[in-house]
Amino acid sequence: MKENRLVVVGGGFAGINLAKKLAGKDQFKVTIVDKNNYHFFPPLLYQVSTAFIEASNISYPFRKLFQERDNIRFHMGSLIKVNPESNTIETDTGILSYDYLVLALGTETNFFGNPNVMRCGLPMKTIDDALNIRNHVLLRLEEAVRATALEDKARLSNIVVAGGGPTGVEMVGMMAELAHKIAAKDYPEAASRIGAIYLIDGSPTLLGPMSKTAQAESFKVLSKFGVKIMLNTLVKDYVNETVILSTGESIKAATLIWTSGVIGREVPGLAPEVVARGRRLAVDEINRVKGYTNIFAVGDIAYQTTDPDYASSHPQLAQVAIQQGTLLAENLLRIDRGQAPKPFRYNNKGSMAIISKFKAVVDLPKGSFKGFFAWLVWLFIHIIPLVGFRNRVKLAFNWLFSFLTDDPTLRLIIRPRKKEISTQPCVKVDGNSSIDRAASPPIR
């Protein structure tokens, strides 16, 4: 029996589900390539960034996950280049050969060409990003309680979140909860809560892709918490800790969290014509990159227009990635047996977002609902996909304790990045200047 060398670049939802489906299938020797040595659960990153759960609750080591699967290997490294002519990929830790290559790299934060936002704004795409936000916010609050001038207290404790999609809404909701129920206990030096939380989005509604029920509920609940919601408004720049808006207004804020958009990760070595809108890779009905016979793309980076219900490609959601990864594994087995592969058709199971404690919104193909029951559904759905029984138990216990006490104990300032302990403020740079923030996250 021929052994096919399958290299999977990216251990997110798509890559991990593909590998799990092929585990134990001796006709494929699978190598997972990722810059991290762990798989993590992105929908709960915002709870790590707000010190509600530990990073370990939503992470699991690749090597432990596949330690009893002889045909699965892990290679820690970042993709540098694909060499289709030699069937190899170059990583920063070595060169790998393949018979089949699956690109499941996902996306990275899109700063829309704004160097100041890129330099001083805080993205939230990785565990490192989430921990950095936690460190940054806690450090600014420590500075705020030491400040003597009211304008400095306000600037240091103001938080602006750019992006009113599910990530932005969930982030703001959790921060509003913490501000109302924990700030006074943690910071008794502050006579009153001076800072404000802002949510800014360029569209006329929050949760744009979701139902009107979800949009109205999110606006109502967040407004009740005192969140300052600014719609039909864009963040144009971020200079000297001042958020400059498209309306001509500005907000003094030491914290700008950027959840406004994503863009596909670059894949050097592929033909330029396969790069589609949003820097995604154009694929056919079985997720094969157009123009190649043995290179595939799945998940957020795949741009597929062959699904009759999604002629403009699929939404960049976890369920799409999971279903594409699973079907591609089945199709690779079919191809190996000489059978015809099946085209991908997305089974839309709905979408959801948590707004605050005991309040969430859920959109299903046959209707929408909100409130406590929606929150329970959200809780259940987000525990089930976690890898490892121990992770589920830890997360459930931590959630229960935090919700009952309204006082999680994870507000720790750990390994702040160098820029966080610098006394130099963020200053304006032009588009041609060098950026001293860390480079965009390496390709997974």
Say whether both 250 and 156 belong to one domain.
Answer: yes
Residue 88 pLDDT level (bands cut at 50, 70, 90): very high
Q: 338 burial class (0-12, 13-18, 19+ CB within 10 angstroms)? A: exposed
Q: Is the pLDDT of residue 105 over 90?
A: yes
Q: Are residues 406 and 300 both part of a single domain? A: no
* 209 and 311 co-located in one domain: no
Helix axis angle for 13-22 and 318-336, nearest 10°, is: 30
**Tokens representing residue 219 in the block:** 């606006």
Smallest CA-to-CA distance from 254 within 194, 303, 214 is with: 194
- Which residue in 182, 161, 166 sits closest to 227, CA to CA? 161
50-59, 171-180, 197-206, 377-386: which has the minimum mean pLDDT? 377-386
Q: Is the pLDDT of residue 234 over 60?
A: yes
Paired tokens of 330: 């089945």
Is there a single domain that holds both residue 368 and residue 267?
no
User: Does the residue 70 lie in any domain?
Assistant: no
405 pLDDT exceeds 70?
Answer: no
198 shares a domain with 177: yes
Mean pLDDT of 374-390: 68
Q: Is the pLDDT of residue 53 over 50?
A: yes
Inside any domain, residue 121 = yes
pTM above 0.85, yes or no: yes
| Model confidence pLDDT, tens digit, residues 325-357 | 999 999 999 999 999 999 999 999 888 888 887
236 and 168 share a domain? yes
Task: Note the Cα 83 to chain centre separation in Å.
Answer: 28
- The pLDDT value recorded for residue 426 is 67
Q: For residue 421, is pLDDT > 80?
A: no
244 shares a domain with 154: yes
- 360: pLDDT strictly greater than 50: yes
pLDDT tens profile 124-141: 999 999 999 999 999 998
Do residue 135 and residue 220 come from a single domain?
yes
Q: Which of 226-240, 272-286, 400-414 has the lowest mean pLDDT?
A: 400-414
pLDDT digits (tens, 9 = 90+) for 167-192: 999 999 989 888 887 777 787 776 55
Residue ranges of the alpha helices (H) in 43-84? 45-49, 62-65
Does any domain span residue 214? yes
Question: Residue 181 sits in a domain of what CATH number?
Answer: 3.50.50.100
Within a domain: 444: no
Better-scored residue on pLDDT, 147 or 419: 147
Strands (E), 319-430: 351-356, 359-364, 367-371
Q: Which of 51, 431, 361 is nearest to 207 (CA)?
A: 361
> Considering the chain, what is the average pLDDT of its residues?
87
Cβ count within 10 A of residue 337: 8
pLDDT of residue 437: 41
Is residue 256 domain-shared with residue 267, that is, in the same domain? no
Angle at 101 between CA 94 and CA 26, to 5 degrees: 95
As for how many domains the chain has, the answer is 2
CA distances from 116 to 167, 204, 267, 332 (A): 22, 25, 25, 44
DSSP letter for each residue of 147-191? --SHHHHHHHH-EEEE--SHHHHHHHHHHHHHHHHTHHHH-TT-S
Residue 181 lies in a domain: yes
Confidence grade of residue 420 (pLDDT, cut at 50, 70, 90) = very low
Range of the domain at 23: 4-35+77-109+263-336
Same domain membership, residue 256 and residue 157: yes
User: What are the C-alpha distances in Å from 122 to residues 37, 58, 185, 246, 436?
Assistant: 23, 20, 26, 20, 14
Query: How far is residue 58's CA from residue 394's CA, in Å, rounded to a whole number?
Result: 10
- 131, 252: one domain: yes
**Domain-embedded: residue 61:** no
**What is the CATH number for 289?**
3.50.50.60
Of 336, 337, 377, nearest to 354 by C-alpha is 377
User: How far is the CA of 96 from the CAs of 9, 81, 444, in angstroms?
Assistant: 11, 11, 15
In this prediction, residue 410 carries a pLDDT of 63
What φ, ψ does residue 12 adopt, rounded to 5°? -85, -155
**Same structural domain for residues 296 and 404?**
no
